[in-house]
Structures are given as C-alpha cells and as structure tokens.
Amino acid sequence: MERDIRSLYFTGYCYWSMEAVFSHLRGVKDVQSGWVSLKESYEIEAVRVVFLPDDIDPSALIAIHLSMHRTDLQQGIKKRYPSKVCTEIEADIDVIQSLIEDISHRSNRIYYCKSERLSTFRPADARYDDYYLSGPEKPYCHQYIRPKLDQLKDGWPELFIHKDVVPE
C-alpha cells in the first residue's frame, strides 16, 4: 500500500536554517532549499518539505516553523523573509490558516503568518544542499542554526532525529 506523501513550502527565515530544522524531523522525507513565487512579483527564500502525514502531523510542522523565527508584525511584513506556509492544493489554504490561528490561540501569541497558494518553486543551487550537515562549524551554522536545532530537540524530542555530519 502506498503511503500518503505531502508537501508544504515554508518561508520566514534563511533557507539554510529551515533546511536544517525540517531535515531533523521524524516523518520528513526530503527538504529542498529554494525560492517561491507567490502573488507578489518577487521571489523569497523557502524550503519544500516532503513528509508522511502518518508520521508527522502538518500542524506539528507549522508549529515548529512558527517557533523558529520571529513573526511579530515588523517581521511578518518584511519583504525578504515574510512568514508563510504555502501549498499547491487550493483547498488546503483555509485549513492551514486555521491551523496557524489555532496554534496562535493555544500558545497565547500572535503569529503573523499567512497560508497561500504556491505559484512556483525554484530549487537553489545544489552546492547549498545540506549546508549545516556539510559544515556545522561554519560561523553561520554555529551562531544561527545550532540554537534552532537545540530548541527543536528540547521542544519536540519525540520528533527530533539526530543526523550525522556529511563527510567532505
């Protein structure tokens, strides 16, 4: 029997960090960095997350996404890193927005994150794949990604999986 595999696209912070966070989750099968185009005419950094909904609930992916970056009004309206959860399925837009609002209500925080329909996804250059795993000692990885992975491990230990560093 074929398992239900889904994809969501996330924006809100650097795709190197998003790739590292989502690739350390049980039930996530693939994470690809790149850029999405939405209603706006510009591209924004994003990751495509391919996951098995039987192994990880989409609401967990969204909650993790929201917790990993600032989504206050100032950050939420920025053009470079607007916080969004994108889907290719029109019928999922309202469901995803309801999940965002439910997470906001339960956590007693306001998240300025929107659900939108994906127009296009353009993968990043392959040389950026596994950026964290290929060099966790890099200053960017040490300063920005490692704290997010620590937060992920502490906040969602049942979903966190350790990944080995990619040999050079």
Q: How far apart are CA 46 and CA 37, in angstroms?
A: 10
User: What does the pLDDT read at residue 52?
Assistant: 95
Q: Report yes or no on 139 lying in a domain.
A: yes
Q: Is the pTM of this model over 0.85?
A: yes
- Residue 81 near residue 12 (C-beta atoms within 8 A): yes
Q: Which helix (H) or strand (E) holds 115?
A: strand 114-117
Does residue 81 lie in a domain region?
yes
Is 167 contained in some domain? Answer: no
Q: Degrees (nearest 5) of the Cα angle 136, 17, 30?
A: 95
Would you state the structure tokens that stand for residue 11, as one six-digit string? 């924006």
| Domain assignment of residue 38, yes or no | yes
Q: Give the pLDDT score at 73.
A: 57
Looking at residue 3, its pLDDT comes to: 60
Which helix (H) or strand (E) is 118 found in, with range?
none
Number of domains in the chain: 1
- pLDDT block averages, 10 residues each, the chain of length 168: 79 93 96 85 88 94 93 58 90 94 91 90 91 92 94 95 66
For residue 131, being part of any structural domain is answered with yes
Q: What's the pLDDT at 166? A: 52
In a domain, 160, yes or no: no
Total length of the chain: 168
What is the rounded distance in angstroms from the CA atom of residue 125 to the CA atom of residue 109? Answer: 36
Q: What is the pLDDT of residue 112?
A: 86
Q: Which domain holds residue 34?
A: 6-155
Helical axes 146-155 vs 58-67, angle rounded to 10°: 130
**CATH number of the domain bearing residue 59:** 3.30.1060.10
- 73 inside domain: yes
State the Cα–Cα distance between residues 111 and 101, nearest whole angstrom. 8
Q: Give me the pLDDT at residue 40, please.
A: 62
Please check whether residue 80 lies inside any domain of the structure.
yes
